[in-house]
Amino acid sequence: MISITGSVTTFQENGVTKMQTADNVTNIMRGNKALNITGVLDGFETRFPGYQIEFGGQAEQQSKTSSSLKFAFFIAILLVFTILATQFKSAVQPLIVMFTIPFALIGVIFGLLVTGLPFSMMTMISVVALAGVVVNDALVLVDFVNRERASGVDRWNSLINAGAIRLRPIIMTTVTTIAGFMPIILSNSSTTSDYKPMAVSIAFGLAFATVLTLFVIPVLYSLVDSLFGKLGMTRFKTHASYEECVDCDE
């Protein structure tokens, strides 16, 4: 139910007559676009030609903030890529590492669907934050593999060693981070309700990104490195496929 009460003010702005009403909207879940009023006003401009509706106040601020956060997200992506490219001295391996970001977005969407929370401003802030956080696990894996291969270990065993040695630190880091958000996620207090979408988004985003990173990133690394090895575009001297390693063991 939408309850709107308030006075209406008529004024002129740039030669256009405007009517402004400052009302309180109750019983509406905050975070939904334009406070869900757009559904009520659908077709208004068609039924009344010459009239337009503009949202101000909190709805206007949310629209501006949404645009700013989208820009901030792309800036974060660019900065992460630049830093990783400098670290790896490669333009391809940063893309492998950043492949974890879509995993996090899947987790965010799943978390919101499971908990029934809206995609709010706090959710968008958490997505921007996740862009710089979820790459850490893949960064640790890829960096370890590179170090192993630089020391002469073949690709297959480098990936096996990375998964075995770095598994526990990666899992523990993710678990402790998620545990820090659990009080907010489990709280029913009204004081934490605004922050719950952010906590859920970060927790589910990290969880999904971590699990998928451990399985997908090694496979993606192997496929890309195999392709570049055949093209003679890799800096590592030792290359081996799974079948070759099995033959060597035998």
User: Which domains are present in the chain?
Assistant: 8-55 (no CATH), 65-249 (1.20.1640.10)
Q: What percent of the chain has pLDDT over 90?
A: 24
Bridge partners, residue 19, by sequence: 10
Question: Which secondary structure element, helix H or strand E, spans residue 146, and what is its range?
Answer: helix 135-150
Residues of the chain above pLDDT 70, percent: 65
- Is residue 193 very low, low, confident or very high in pLDDT (cuts 50, 70, 90)? confident
Mean pLDDT over residues 98-122, rounded?
90
Q: Is the pLDDT of residue 33 over 50?
A: no
At 206, the pLDDT band (50, 70, 90 cuts) reads very high
> Is residue 217 scored above 80 in pLDDT?
yes
**Angstrom distance (rounded) from CA 78 to CA 132:** 10
In this prediction, residue 27 has a pLDDT band, given cuts at 50, 70 and 90, of very low
pLDDT band at 92 (very low <50, low <70, confident <90, very high): confident
- Residue 23's nearest CA partner among 46, 61, 51, 57 is 57
Alpha carbon distance 9, 160 (integer Å): 70
**Would you say residue 203 has pLDDT above 90?**
yes
The whole-model pTM stands at: 0.69
Residue 205's pLDDT band (cuts 50, 70, 90): very high
Are 245 and 154 within 8 A, CB to CB?
Answer: yes
What pLDDT shows up at residue 35?
46
